[in-house]
Every structure is written in structure tokens, then in C-alpha cells.
């Protein structure tokens, strides 16, 4: 893998595509710094070599040009603190002034470019726009795993202008290594735990994983589409009726392939989508009308815990229930603790996707698992077996 470790950046200008798409509150303060923290080692390696750094990212989904709430300038105080320097800001990501700022950089300095998505050309993968960005630097570093599934100007097209000087940063290198460890260098038994709201988001990943896993645990809202497919009564639980046939196909494929699919046998149901709703525990196949399943039940938790603790490789994507509400969080918490426990026993565990990451952080267990992925959509597409354009662009 071509990483920043193969280059001595002394006297060089590196343009890094980072994923600084961080959540901001009303006062433009960053409420979760995970993505910034992840990429600091990449930036520091280049600065320590004596190189200078140009940071480029998107933030949010601006519709029509610049918008105050999507300005990357809000990140300056945090970056100054973390990098122990005074970051220079370019209020436009391209143009004469920005070019001048880039050319005047000296070793150890950092230039932050304004939001790339203030230009429509970014998401269109425009070649001329990519070339303007490329002209700012000697080396292109891609460290934005979260956008590696997009063929945008800054994530993919720009790489063409650096035929011999394009490399992965540490975030990208670690993400690729950890997914490959799970999919290619798999220690058995391999258990995948999939949850979250919708089956439709996860069909691709389920189909790819069926060829690799020993156990597939299904929880969250998506379990009810499977239960319905198996003839169960699910009350007013979340369901995707148009995917009932797909769920049946998955169940029979799993049988043919010798994969054990575990669908929760019990559930915590509520008479309302609300933390304070009345709740009770019932068989997940016999939910009465007017009630909805919002968490997996106690028997299922115990059963899944055992499977997880006996696994050597674990992939977890998506919560087991509506874990944001404390009364329906126990299933997700049990899984999080079991994954951490299996890791202590020597298993390799990869946690991916926004909400399972939020869950592992909620229980303060991020340090107790092998790897927490920074990418949601990108991680899912990689797991589906797709070639991500941002990765391919560096390898080509
Ligand atoms: P996803 O983005 O597909 O991973 O879905 C995550 C979301 O699924 C979280 O916000 C959970 O609250 C939600 N979720 C999990 N279980 C259920 C459920 N049984 N019913 C409705 N929503 C759920």
C-alpha cells in the first residue's frame, strides 16, 4: 500500500483530502471531534518531516455556493489547538489568492481551504476544478475514508494529476487494513452483527457477508422484515414490505451456505415511539397490533452474547434497538459489552457505521475493541465488495 510513510515531505507541499465533516452546534462549536482527531497523526507526520500541509474537506451539504454555517473557518480554533500552530485560512478553495497562499507556505505551516462543496464542480468530479486544486501542491494525500465511495474532484479525480506522488494517509491505510483483516485474513468463527433501521441499506453487505461468515446476527428495526417474512406477527414495528421476498431469499441462501442466521426470538415492545411509552417483553413473532418492537429481548441478548464471546472475528454494524432512548438501549449495550469482552479474549473486532460507533462511544468502549471505522457509507460499500473510487485512484 502506498502510504505517507514512503515519502519524506521535507520542502514539499502536501494537499490532504481530510474528512472534516464534523457536527457543529448553534454557536459553531464542534460537538464531536472524532474525525479531526483521526487525521492528526497524518498531518503531524508531514509537518515533522519539514513539509507544509494544505487541508481540504467538505462540511455539510451546501446547496448554492457559500453558506456561513458550512464554513470550515469554524474549525480553526480546534485545529490550532490540536496542531499547536496558527492555521492559515483560504476563504476560497481555488483562485489566485489561494494559489499565492499555497506557494508562500514554508515547512511546518498549515493552510486550510474553504469548503470544497461551495463549488458544484466538487461533487460533479469536474476535471478543471480538480486540476486547480492539484496545482496547489506537490503531493496528494487521501485520508478521507468517509468519502472514499464518492468519485468527487478532491477524492478521486485530483489523483490523476499526481501520477507518482499520490498516497494514502494513516486513516485510509488503517481502514483498508482493518477491513481486509476481517474480510480476507479472517480467523474463524466469524460473526457479523447487523442492526439499524432498514434492511434496504444492508442487502449488499448481507449478500457479500453470507459467503464469509459463520454466524449472522440480525437485530434493530430490520429484524421485523425477516420476522414478517417468516410468518410472524409484528404489530406496528418497522417493516419494509417490498423486501419480504428479499428477506426470504437471504434466509434460504444462508441455509444453503451453512451460515447460521440468528433472528431475535424475543423483543421489548412499546405502545409508542417514545422513551416513556408503556413497554413489555414478548415473543418477537407474536406482537399485537398497536405495539412496536424497539429492542431485542433478554433471551436473545444472552444467546447473542454467547455467540459473540465464542467468535474470533467480529463485525458490528447498526444498533440492536432504539438505543438513543435509554429504555430501549439494553440490547445494544449488551452487544457492545460482548464485543469488547470477546476482544479482550483475543478476537479481532471491527465496528463500523455511524450509529454503532455512537453506541460504542456511549458505553465508553471504543478503546476495548480492535478498530472503530470512521466511514459509514464508505465502510458499507467496501464491505459489499465494491471497489471504492477514492481507493482505486491512489492504487491505479
Ligand atoms: P442505521 O442508520 O440504519 O444503522 O439505523 C440506526 C437507527 O436505527 C438508530 O437511530 C436506531 O434508533 C434505529 N433503530 C434501531 N432499532 C429500531 C427499531 N426496532 N425500530 C425503529 N428504529 C430502530
Q: Which residue puts its alpha carbon closest to atom 18 of ligand 1? A: 221
| 271-299 average pLDDT score | 98
DSSP string, 75-100: GHHHHHHHHTS--EEESSSSSHHHHH
The pLDDT confidence band at residue 358, using thresholds 50, 70 and 90, is confident
Nearest to 192 by CA among 200, 329, 201, 202: 202
Using alpha carbons, list the distances in angstroms from residue 374 to 86, 278, 303: 26, 36, 29
The DSSP symbol for 220 reads: S
Q: How remote is the CA of residue 101 from the centroid of ligand 1, in Å?
A: 45
Active site residue 352: no
- Give the residue, by CA position, lying nearest to ligand 1 atom 6: 196
Residue with cell 412496536: 292
The sign of the dihedral angle between the CA atoms of 318, 319, 321, 326 is negative
Q: Are 296 and 320 in contact (CB under 8 A)?
A: yes
Atom of ligand 1 nearest to the CA of 202: 3
Quote the pLDDT of residue 352: 86
- Whether the bond into 189 is cis, omega within 30 of 0: yes
- Stretch (H or E) spanning 101: helix 96-103
Residue 111 C-alpha cell reads as: 493552510
Topology of domain 186-383 in CATH is: Rossmann fold (3.40.50)
Q: What backbone phi and psi angles, to 5 degrees, belong to 199?
A: -70, -35
Annotated catalytic residue, options 50, 107, 341, 354 = 354
CATH of 4-173, one of 3.40.50.1260, 3.40.50.150, 3.30.428.10, 3.40.50.2000: 3.40.50.1260
**Ligand 1 nearest-atom number relative to CA 322:** 12
The pLDDT score that the predictor gives to residue 215 is 98
Ligand 1 center to residue 376 CA distance, Å?
A: 14
Strand arrangement of the beta sheet that strand 279-283 belongs to: 279-283, 266-270, 292-296
Q: Quickly count helices (H) and strands (E) in the chain.
A: 14, 17
Residue 34 and residue 69: Cα distance in Å, rounded?
20
For the stretch 146-185, pLDDT in tens is 999 999 999 999 999 999 999 999 999 999 999 999 999 9
% residues pLDDT > 70 (the chain): 100
Instruction: Spell out the domain ranges in the chain.
Output: 4-173, 186-383
Q: pLDDT tens digit string along 322-345?
A: 999 999 999 999 999 999 999 999
Instruction: Specify the DSSP element, H or E, that contains 392.
Output: helix 389-395
pLDDT band, residue 354 (cuts 50/70/90): low
At residue 141, the 3 state secondary structure works out as strand
Flag the least confident range among 131-145, 316-330, 352-366.
352-366
Q: Compute, in angstroms, the gap from residue 353 CA to the centroid of ligand 1.
A: 12
Fold equal for 4-173 and 186-383: yes
CA distance 60 to 66: 11
Based on the residue annotation, tell me whether 198 is a catalytic residue of this protein. Answer: yes
What is the CB < 6 Å shell around ligand 1?
196-198, 201, 220-221, 238, 293-294, 318-319, 321-322, 324, 353, 355
C-alpha cell recorded at residue 182 = 476481517
Residue whose C-alpha is closest to residue 34's, from 90, 103, 92, 82: 82
Q: Read off the pTM.
A: 0.89
Average pLDDT of the chain to the nearest whole number: 96
By CB atoms closer than 10 A (0-12, 13-18, 19+), residue 314 is buried
Q: How far is the CA of 81 from the centre of ligand 1 (A)?
A: 35
Closest CA to 118 of 92, 139, 95: 92
Q: Given 82, 127, 181, 198, which residue is catalytic?
A: 198
Q: Which atom of ligand 1 is nearest to the CA of 295?
A: 19
Residue 75 to residues 84, 90, 124, 374: CA-CA distances in angstroms? 14, 13, 25, 18
Q: Could you give the strand order of the β-sheet that contains 52-56, starting from the edge strand earlier in sequence?
A: 88-90, 110-113, 52-56, 13-17, 139-142, 166-168
pLDDT tens per residue, range 29-79:
998 898 999 999 999 999 999 999 999 999 999 999 999 999 999 999 999
CA dist., res. 136 & res. 132, Å (int) = 7
Of 146-150, 238-242, 350-354, least confident by mean pLDDT is 350-354
Q: CA-to-CA distance for 120 and 97, rounded, in angstroms?
A: 20
The rounded Å distance from CA 28 to ligand 1 centre is 28
> Distance between CA 289 and CA 234 in Å, rounded?
8
Amino acid at each position: 500500500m502506498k502510504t505517507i510513510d514512503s515519502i519524506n515531505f521535507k520542502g514539499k507541499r502536501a494537499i490532504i483530502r481530510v474528512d472534516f465533516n464534523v457536527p457543529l452546534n448553534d454557536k459553531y462549536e464542534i460537538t464531536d471531534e472524532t474525525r479531526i482527531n483521526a487525521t492528526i497523526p497524518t498531518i503531524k507526520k508531514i509537518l515533522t518531516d519539514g513539509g507544509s500541509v494544505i487541508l481540504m474537506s467538505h462540511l455539510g451539504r451546501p446547496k448554492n455556493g457559500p453558506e456561513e454555517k458550512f464554513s470550515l473557518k469554524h474549525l480553526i480554533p480546534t485545529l490550532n489547538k490540536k496542531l499547536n500552530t496558527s492555521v492559515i485560512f483560504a476563504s476560497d478553495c481555488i483562485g489566485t489568492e489561494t494559489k499565492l497562499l499555497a506557494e508562500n507556505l514554508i515547512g511546518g505551516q498549515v493552510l486550510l481551504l474553504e469548503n470544497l462543496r461551495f463549488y458544484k464542480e466538487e461533487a460533479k468530479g469536474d476535471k478543471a476544478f480538480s486540476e486547480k486544486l492539484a496545482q496547489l501542491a506537490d503531493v496528494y494525500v487521501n485520508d478521507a475514508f468517509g468519502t472514499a465511495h464518492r468519485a468527487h474532484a478532491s477524492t478521486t479525480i485530483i489523483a490523476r494529476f499526481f501520477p507518482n506522488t499520490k498516497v494514502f494517509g494513516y486513516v485510509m491505510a488503517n481502514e483498508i487494513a482493518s477491513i481486509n483483516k476481517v474480510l480476507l485474513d479472517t480467523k474463524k468463527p466469524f460473526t457479523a452483527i447487523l442492526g439499524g433501521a432498514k434492511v434496504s441499506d444492508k442487502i449488499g453487505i448481507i449478500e457479500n457477508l453470507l459467503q464469509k461468515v459463520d454466524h449472522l446476527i440480525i437485530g434493530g428495526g430490520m429484524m421485523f422484515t425477516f420476522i414478517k417474512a417468516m410468518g410472524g406477527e409484528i404489530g406496528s414495528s418497522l417493516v419494509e414490505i417490498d423486501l419480504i421476498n428479499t428477506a426470504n431469499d437471504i434466509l434460504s441462501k444462508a441455509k444453503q451456505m451453512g451460515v447460521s442466521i440468528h433472528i431475535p426470538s424475543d423483543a421489548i415492545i412499546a405502545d409508542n415511539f417514545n422513551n416513556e411509552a408503556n413497554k413489555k417483553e414478548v415473543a418477537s413473532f407474536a406482537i399485537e397490533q398497536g405495539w412496536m418492537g424497539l429492542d431485542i429481548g433478554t433471551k436473545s441478548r444472552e444467546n447473542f452474547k454467547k455467540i459473540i464471546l465464542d467468535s474470533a472475528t467480529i463485525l458490528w454494524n447498526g444498533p440492536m434497538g432504539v438505543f438513543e432512548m435509554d429504555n430501549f438501549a439494553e440490547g445494544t449495550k449488551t452487544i457492545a459489552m460482548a464485543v469488547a469482552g470477546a476482544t479482550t479474549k483475543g478476537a479481532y473486532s471491527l465496528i463500523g457505521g455511524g450509529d454503532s460507533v455512537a453506541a460504542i462511544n456511549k458505553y465508553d468502549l471504543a478503546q476495548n475493541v480492535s478498530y472503530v471505522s470512521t466511514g459509514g457509507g464508505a465502510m458499507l460499500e467496501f464491505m459489499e465488495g465494491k471497489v471504492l473510487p477514492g481507493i482505486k485512484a491512489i492504487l491505479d
